[in-house]
Amino acid sequence: MYSLFGLLLFVQGFVCQINFPSVGQENSCIEGEVCKKFKDCKSAVKAWNNLRKQPNVCYFQGKDQYVCCSNGGSSNSRIIEKPSTSQQKCDDYYPLINFNPGGFKINVVGGVNAAPREFPFMVALRWGEFDGPSSYLCGGMLVSPTFVLTAAHCTSIEGVQPKFARIGGDDLSGTSDRDSKIKAITIHPYYNPESAYDDIALIELEQRTKLTPACLWLNKNPLPKEATAIGYGHKEFAGTNSKILQKVNLSLFNNTNCNKYYNAEDSNVPQGIKKSQICAGELKQKKDTCQGDSGGPLLSKLKVGNRTIPYLIGVTSFGSFCASGVPAVYTRISEYSRWIERVVWRE
């Protein structure tokens, strides 16, 4: 299975604004809901604070946002749920400050070299006792002070497991004394190395880190139209690993379109692209992940008030030749959130 991935090429950064209806362009509310100012709708405010669930917007009037409010704002079990453990942890990592009910934005970054500590949750997995970029063969992402999320196929390369993890998105040419020792590896129970399904695993570190983890994207739908992939992989097929963390903007494909590129003849996905997977790439601009990036994050940033929260959407799994005009495939994190919570927070 061709599965070790990397990042390519240059891309101009931009912001993708979620478009809400304007004044007079009302969304139809369901029975039992009324159109009400967001800040006066307790159920909508609680659903956002607890679950980051965006309200169904009726219209804007000046700076006020009117939303479909259940039962005039009373409790609604369909909307008001107890926050998941991962969302509670996310609130701890990124406490809300100066919440702005009109500030729902998805930010997508671009470029090639990431700035130092731009992605403090980025992890590079190291094999062997020796040091150097060539020994960092896979990526990962910090989801708690002691756990790293990665691809299942990254837990063993030629029968050898990684021994160390470098956290913080740092330059890999530096000294390895900052690397954390790996304590234990948990592979998803349904993973089969003969295919790319359920390609996800968790790595426990021996010591806690003080760096801030990223949050898990819990909503299965909708996904943003664009996301960012990061990693230390090759800049071209069969090239060499990058010492400096790379980042690239990619467009997300729905599974129907992605299945046009993968069929039953592909041993990685003999049943086609499943709902537990995401496809991403830039076919015309030839931007992609490549060898060495497997296990790394596909992420999006949600702007809430004056805080920008990184959400992990996918785990780099596999693809065709780098930047060959075929989207790469990522494991969809939202499909595995309960399993992640059980392993990481012992639920």
**Catalytically annotated residues:** 153, 199, 294
Whether the Cβ atoms of residue 202 and residue 165 lie closer than 8 Å to each other: no
Amino acid, single-letter form, for residue 275? K
Contacts of 88 (CB under 8 A, 6+ apart): none
Whether the Cβ atoms of residue 289 and residue 316 lie closer than 8 Å to each other: yes
In SS3 terms, the chain reads as: CCCCECCCCCCCCEEEECCCCCCCCCCCCCCCEEEEEHHHCHHHHHHHHHHCCCCCEEEEECCEEEEEEEHHHCCCCCCCCCCCHHHHHHHHHCCCCCCCCCCCEEEECCCCECCCCCCCCEEEEECCCCCCHHHEEEEEEEEECCEEEECHHHHCECCECCCEEEECCCCCCCCHHHCEEEEEEEECCCCCCCCCCCCCEEEEECCCCCCCCCEECCCCCCCCCEEEEEECCCCCCCCCCCCCCEEEEEEEECHHHHCCCCCCCCCCCCCCCCCCEEEEEECCCCECCCEECCCCEEEEEEEECCEEEEEEEEEEEECCCCCCCCCEEEEEHHHHHHHHHHHHCCC
Structure tokens given for 122: 């980025």
Place of tokens 């030749």: 321
b/e 216-235 (16+ beta carbons within 10 angstroms → b)? bbbeeeebbebbbbbbbbbb
